[in-house]
Amino acid sequence: MPCSAISGGGSDGNGSLRNFKLNESTFLASLMPKKEIGADRFVEAHPNYDGRGVVIAIFDSGVDPAAAGLQVTSDGKPKILDILDCTGSGDVDTSKVVKADENGCIPGASGASLHVNSSWKNPSGEWHVGYKLVYELFTETLTSRLKRERRKKWDEQNQEEIAKAVKHLHEFDQKHIRAEDANLKRAREDLQNRVDYLQKQADSYDDKGPVIDAVVWHDGEVWRVAIDTQTLEDDPDCGKLADFVPLTNYRIERKYGVFSKLDACTFVVNVYDEGKILSIVTDCSPHGTHVAGIATAFHAKEPLLNGVAPGAQVISCKIGDARLGSMETGTGLTRALIAAVEHKCDLINMSYGEPALLPNYGRFVDLVNEAVNKHRLVFVSSAGNSGPALSTVGAPGGTTSSIIGVGAYVSPAMAAGAHCVVEAPGEGLEYTWSSRGPTADGDLGVCISAPGAAIAPVPTWTLQRRMLMNGTSMASPSACGGIALLISALKAEGISVSPYSVRKALENTSVPVGSLPEDKLSTGQGLMQVDKAHEYLKQSRDVPSVWYQIKINQSGKTTPTSRGIYLREASACQQSTEWTVQVGPKFHEGASHLEELVPFEECIELHSTDNAVVRAPEFLLLTHNGRSFNIVVNPTNLSEGLHYYELYGVDCKAPWRGPLFRIPITITKPITVISRPPLYSFSRMSFLPGHIERKFIEVPLGATWVEATMQTSGFDTTRRFFVDSVQLCPLQRPCKWESVVTFSSPAAKSFSFPVVGGQTMELAIAQFWSSGIGSNETTSVDFEIVFHGINVNKEELVLDGSEAPVRIEAGALLASEKLAPAATLSKIRIPYRPVAAELCSLPTDRDKLPSEKRILALTLTYKFKLEDGAEVKPQVPLLNDRIYDTKFESQFYMISDANKRVYATGEAYPSSSKLPKGEYTLQLYLRHENMQYLEKLKQLVLFIERKLEEKDVMRLSFFSQPDGPVMGNGAFKSSVLVPGKKEAIYLGPPSKDKLLKFSPQGSVLLGAISYGKLSYVEKGQGKDPQKNPVSYQISYIVPPNKMDEDKGKGSSTSTKAVSERLEEEVRDAKIKVLTSLKQDNEEERSEWNKLSTSLKSEYPKHTPLLAKILEGLLSRNNVEDKICHDKEVIDAADEVVDSIDRDELAKFFALRTDPEDEEAEKNKKKMETTRDQLAEALYQKGLALADILSLQPSASEVTEGSKEADKTADSGPGSGVLLERFEDTFKELQKWVEVKSSKYGILSVTREKHHGRLGTALKVLNDIIQENTEPPKKKLYEEKLSLLEEIGWQHLVTYERQWMHVRFPPSLPLF
């Protein structure tokens, strides 16, 4: 049925116009709609009531203070009073304190030396330092633009270096036509490696962005902040710390900065916790600035582009977390409410939301109720963009009683101007995508409607002044701006402001959109009208400010309690039902008992919009304590389809006040499908732009999926349709399937989607509001639905880990169906308990509730290990997938490696992240004011869910016999189910040899199982259960690992004498004591030296002892005399080498051993250990020699006091001897191991450096880094930086330094 009709014609106040044309002024006015809600008329009549004196809190993605129209109000006051990042995504840890040196320089947190401006006052001399990767502050769009521009410059620099490298190679080839000499070959290889390295860098380039240093100090009055942005600038003289104009908390001076001309991104700062936390605030999308512009923008020279309330002021509360794109977080929402109360805001606008499990429920809802009821804030929010089906309103805007939920309306002027359509609609209508009510508990859902599109200001980084956006996100600030006009007027006229009275005025003065009662489910009470609402509020200034709370129960039942009556299922429409309604007048907290509560008494006349369906008492005497009464709803005589009624109460003594409360009654009487096979067709439905057809069907019991066909005809230009299916199930979000279908010409399209048998399904088909505009032809649609179903006795299956199969009973209740089961296990979920739990009170005022209670934080630490790279997702079943409908305030997790590099972050909706092999720490951060709740979560189980690679996915088998999985017989493939006859099959467990090595006992393999395929599926398809129309979860509990069959083998009795064994045990115990000794100070080192010397004299040729002594020397830290220490290492390494018979070792590895011979295998392991000890000794000796070579130009003292002193003396002083010894050591090492491997490669790098072959050294080092699967080692990357600097590739030095901050941050970021 059409929902585009508006009562009346001509040019009434809701923007409905027939056959109108735009001129320049009406076009500009349509870009920022105000006429539709009467805001333009109101401000014209009351110029000083344009929002002056009103403060609006914008809960959104952040507001840019440099955006057009957001600097001052219409009366010259600052537009934006404060800008806050409530999420913490811009927080910088500035707890590190440094002092300036005599040159006025301080060490920045990034490692850069920063020069502070001598004119900056800092009485304490203490500078707090921190740093931030600047891309973490930017939106994805801005980051992408910067990456493109930076890549272009980087490519130019890299190409220049490639050209130089190729030139050098060419010159070498010209000079040495035949390079037969080994050294010449190596020299050419080095030049070629340089060319190759530069080319590979171009392929692997991944810009992580510049690092900015931040400095915080107290100037004796306020905290000051300066930012060093040199890394963002092309000019080395720009962006220096000393040239930065210091900022302080935005609310104090209302100043902002811009990072650089390239990004054009505005930022502000706030300092918390005595300088320990710096918040750098940027926006995480243009959305918030656009919203603020709609509500309050002021353009002195372009008044037609003003926001609705240009005189209002704003505080920006960023609730969209930049770490999550722009997703809101519980922390952000709570801090935003704290800020709104602290700033004594009059209004809150929140254009955010999502579907919810429970309406009017949750921690955030509780805090909102307190803000509205106690602090008298008017809270306005978007209803959602999930229409056109019913019951699609989102939380919190459409589901919370204390919030004014706003739907999105489009007028003909908006369509023609802002949307630039060929031909405007004849009348205004609700946007197709605007969410509809009622809520699951029967509340209307949408309160009022307002214009849902505007061309409004956007941040400067977008490189444009304004932009078109549409959505209920735009309707909400339009309504909020209109309410700001009302509050401005009330304050000026001395009338008390109450969110209760404001809401009542809006609802009772709105202009209906559409002529049918059920249109209210789309538009609420209609299009708000500011001027009429103002008159209403003036007339009711002496009326008590009361909210009439409605609680409804079906008679005889105490639960569930609802806010309306929603008869949706077929069974509820077959007889009359009686309901008990409790009306409770609620005053604002703090209302006087004697002056307001006791005298309150109202004579209420009850009205039903249709007494034949809804019968109620005629009158009600209502006092402060409330009153209950019964009503009867009789839907039995109603036709199939949607019906909407209201029961409302009017003050007998003041009927002009209109309805004081409304009880919505929504009835959807479904069609019953009786044909078999179950099929239903809707023929020749006619569509015009914006038209919606709603069909309610009782899904037959036994149906599990639908196959539908949509045939269109009778049109010329392209048509776009929304096709939605919605079912409501208890304590679930609406079961919604949706599709947007475009027909470029008449055609047929097929769909399939799951359904729940026995539940009413709404099928909503809508032609998009602007689709087909300009064409006079209607679209004809035929829609056919065929229900299919295979019913099983167990929908979600659990395999217990035993060899026994699970019996499944399947049947088809509706029609014959092909039973073709498919099951796979594609994920593994491993449980973890915390290894640490830390509970603390949050110190800053941004975490202190209006009730003065401090919020507490619980940080849980989990450890997990990946044996190879994998895609993982953390799961906390208790908390996940709920933001608004949870009693817990907030959750946030962070996954990092041993180097503190953060790989993934997330909140209520965890996402999968690709992690390389290694060990990881996951920190889960939970917040609440109640310590007892958090204490209960100290052992919270968390799952790491890992997606299996395609090769590891397990396809399960089905059998017709219970012994099938073991015997291998009776395999089941498919059969045909006949109605009335059930069939049983067995699902076998996965083969034990297919279980993955990383499947520990207690973990769960997860997957899906399906039983039927689409009737039109091609042969061979349908093997993936998740691609079939209906699938269910299947899980397999991993059993204990099988006993190791090899365990216990090889424990043959030793042939050694007892005395010999005892002597070895004593020796090994002494070595163990040596390795346990610490060497942190001189005294401990002296003790270690004494014991090592004693053991060496006792066991002079025992290689394991000598290897441990070498290991002990290498473990020493803070060595003062590096050369002396290197000498000790060389001597210790020589002792290890001399203790080994290398000839015998070489002979052994030249022969093959019999793997079946236990003694031979034992000896092999022993010899391999000896070889490793030899290689390690040679490797460490080589490093020590190289170290001395770099530290001491003359080699005359290298071996003084060592065993080879006489040899060195004979050779004479000079580095040549040292190099010769180094080469000898290297060549000896080459005999035993691969010297370019990740374990020994550093020695190869060092050798190439000493020979001046930096390109080859870089190649070897890069290979080591790539082969090393463990967490990156910082020293390898530092060596890489050193080589790049030595070569002179400055662009790569800068690039690698930026990556150092990603790979090796000094600490984990703040939550």
Catalogue the active-site residues.
60, 287, 473
**Which run of H or E residues covers position 410?**
strand 404-410
Q: Which of 546, 550, 439 is nearest to 503 (CA)?
A: 546
- The span from the CA of 447 to the CA of 500, in Å, is 13
Judge whether 451 and 61 are in contact, CB under 8 Å.
no
Tokens representing 22? 């735009």
Q: Give CA separation, 754 vs 478, 679, 786, 963, in Å.
A: 38, 15, 12, 33
How many other β-carbons are positioned within 10 Å of the β-carbon of residue 290?
A: 32
Tokens representing 31? 């870009």
Q: Where would I find the H helices in 511-659?
A: 520-523, 530-539
| One-letter identity of residue 1010 | S
Judge whether 447 and 378 are in contact, CB under 8 Å.
no
Residues in the chain: 1311
Tokens representing 1037? 């509990």
DSSP category for residue 19? S
- The span from the CA of 842 to the CA of 929, in Å, is 10
316 pairs with which residues across the strands?
Answer: 58, 83
User: What contacts 1076, CB < 8 A, 6 or more positions away?
Assistant: none
665 pairs with which residues across the strands?
Answer: 565, 645
**Which run of H or E residues covers position 373?**
helix 363-373
Largest CA distance in the chain: 121
Helix axes 1241-1250, 1274-1287, angle to 10 degrees: 20
φ and ψ at 920, to 5 degrees?
-130, 155
Quickly tell me which residue has 């004196």 as its tokens.
53
Q: Give CA separation, 498 vs 368, 546, 594, 599, in Å.
A: 15, 9, 20, 19
Tokens representing 507? 């609802």
- The span from the CA of 1227 to the CA of 1178, in Å, is 10
Q: Which of 407, 615, 634 is nearest to 520 (CA)?
A: 407
Judge whether 819 and 976 are in contact, CB under 8 Å.
yes
- The span from the CA of 568 to the CA of 687, in Å, is 26
Quickly tell me which residue has 């505080």 as its tokens.
315
**Which run of H or E residues covers position 857?**
strand 856-866
Judge whether 435 and 385 are in contact, CB under 8 Å.
yes
Judge whether 551 and 584 are in contact, CB under 8 Å.
yes
**In terms of DSSP bridges, do strands 1032-1037 and 797-799 run parallel, antiparallel, or are they unpaired?**
parallel
DSSP category for residue 595? I
Number of H helices, E strands in the chain: 27, 59
Q: How far is CA 718 from the centre of its chain?
A: 36
- The span from the CA of 477 to the CA of 347, in Å, is 10
User: What contacts 743, CB < 8 A, 6 or more positions away?
Assistant: 712, 715, 718, 719, 720, 721, 749
DSSP category for residue 527? B
Using left for φ > 0, alpha for ψ between -120 and 50, and beta otherwise, residue 46 falls in: beta
- The span from the CA of 471 to the CA of 308, in Å, is 17
**In terms of DSSP bridges, do strands 327-328 and 320-321 run parallel, antiparallel, or are they unpaired?**
antiparallel
